[in-house]
């Protein structure tokens, strides 16, 4: 069966520090991968999605970036965090036409 992992589970970072969140999927190949942000426990905003290695599409302008160095690995990064980057970050995967399956999420607090 397929599983999706995210780490860390929680993170507290100062403003201006770098960020790296990691997501990995097991049990499937060539998945579509997605990064979402959820603010205040409501509503999901799609940040990035990827249909293959090195292929990243950005949905909203921001100081975040994403990379997909391996087929089942998706990384969310920032060079300098802002207070507004606080939130709950969710990674998801899907087959091309299938439903999306979500990871457990990372709670990021920027102070």
Which residues of this protein are in contact with other proteins, per CB under 8 A? 6, 32, 34, 41-44, 46, 49, 59, 88, 90, 92, 94, 96-97, 99-105, 107
Minimum Å distance from CB 106 to other proteins? 10
The half-sphere exposure of 22 on its side-chain side, counting CA atoms within 13 A, is: 7
Minimum Å distance from CB 48 to other proteins? 11
Shorter beta-carbon distance to other proteins: residue 26 or 59: 59
Contact 22, 110 (CB under 8 A): no
Minimum Å distance from CB 33 to other proteins? 12
Of 95, 90, 89, the C-alpha closest to 72 is 95
Shorter beta-carbon distance to other proteins: residue 16 or 57: 57
Tokens 């087959």, located at residue = 95
d(CA 96, CA 21): 24
């Amino acid at each position: 069966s397929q599983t999706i992992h995210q780490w860390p589970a929680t993170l507290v970072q100062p403003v201006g520090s770098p960020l790296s969140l990691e997501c990995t999927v097991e049990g499937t190949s060539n998945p579509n991968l997605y990064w979402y942000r959820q603010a205040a426990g409501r509503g999901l905003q799609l940040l990035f999605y990827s249909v293959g290695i090195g292929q990243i599409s950005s949905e909203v302008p921001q100081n975040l970036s994403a990379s997909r160095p391996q087929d089942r690995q998706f990384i969310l990064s920032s060079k300098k965090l802002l207070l507004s980057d606080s939130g709950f970050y969710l990674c998801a995967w899907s087959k091309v036409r299938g439903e999306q399956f979500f990871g457990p999420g990372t709670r990021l607090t920027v102070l």
